[in-house]
Every structure is written in C-alpha cells, then in structure tokens.
Amino acid sequence: QRQGKAFELEVRKSLQFLAGRWRRFWFWKVMDYKAYQMVNPRLQAPKVPADYFVCFKGKFYAIECKSSHSERRYGLQYIREHQKQTLTEIEKAGGEAWILLSWRRWMHKPRRPNRCFAIPIKKWLEIEEQTLQSGFKSASWTLIISSSKEINRKPPVWDLSPLFLD
C-alpha cells in the first residue's frame, strides 16, 4: 500500500509540473476513504472512481493510479468493479479515462528502474478479457506493455503530457 501512495504522490508532482507550465490545466486529487476516516472513523466514505480528475482545454480526464512490484504479472482484482464502471462512463460521456500502472522494479535483482504505463480504460477491459480467456487472474507484463503507452521519466517527474496531447 505504501508503494501505491508513493506512486500517487509521484503523479501529483507530475500534474503540478504540467499545471505550472500549461495554461488551461487544472487537476484535483480525489479524497479516498482514509481522508474521511481521519475526520471521523464512523463516516461512511463514498467509493472513489479515480485518484485524479483533470481538465485541460475544456476536456475532462480521470486518472486511476496503481502500482505493482510483481515481476511477471499484475492481478486483475486490483482495479475494482466500480472504478471500471465509472471510468467507462466517463469515456462514454466524451472524457478520457486512464489507468496509470507503475511497475516498481527496484526490488528485483538486479535492480532496475521503475516503469510507468498509461492504459485507456477500454484497452484495460480488453486486457482483462484476454487474460481471463487464457485462464489467468493476473495479466502478464508482456500483454500490459504491448497494450499501453509507456510514460517516460523526466526527473523529477513522469512526463504525463502524452495523456493530454495525443
């Protein structure tokens, strides 16, 4: 869970970088259930559809951040049903819905740099379908990589501009 929060923070810094350079760019970090529980542990938090909402030049984007250190596969269960449903609805309404998946490879031997992949929700659903049809409950990194855009790291941030400019 700590690696997931670390990746969300990296994405926040990357969005702040773009906001500082582009006009007509706005983003907001959606509060998760832990923020509600800090206010009052008995509060019932709504299901969060994505980690970030972005508006750029009048177009709406939703970004859900996920991360994994698994060497070969990513478990399908980590993208929740309500997230898939909401992200699909956003896309149907004319927005763009992205899953950013960070492959945290620093734990592997030999140590390798982390990688980041941007996957439109429609493409993620295809990955999920293909994975389930092949009898697995986790998608191979090979399939994920071939179905996504790799996001490059331009220290100190990820270059998220391809999500908004392509």
Structure confidence at residue 56 (pLDDT): 98
Q: State the pTM of this model.
A: 0.88
Exposed/middle/buried for 128, CB within 10 Å: 0-12, 13-18, 19+?
middle
CA distance 164 to 83: 21
Structure confidence at residue 52 (pLDDT): 97
Question: Long-range contact list for 91-94, CB < 8 A, 24+ apart?
Answer: 91/120, 91/121, 91/122, 93/60, 94/59, 94/60
Q: What is the pLDDT of residues 105-123, one digit of tens each?
A: 655 556 667 899 999 999 9
Q: What stretches in the chain show pLDDT beneath 50?
A: none
Q: What is the pLDDT of residues 115-148, one digit of tens each?
A: 999 999 999 999 999 999 999 999 999 999 999 9
Structure confidence at residue 70 (pLDDT): 85
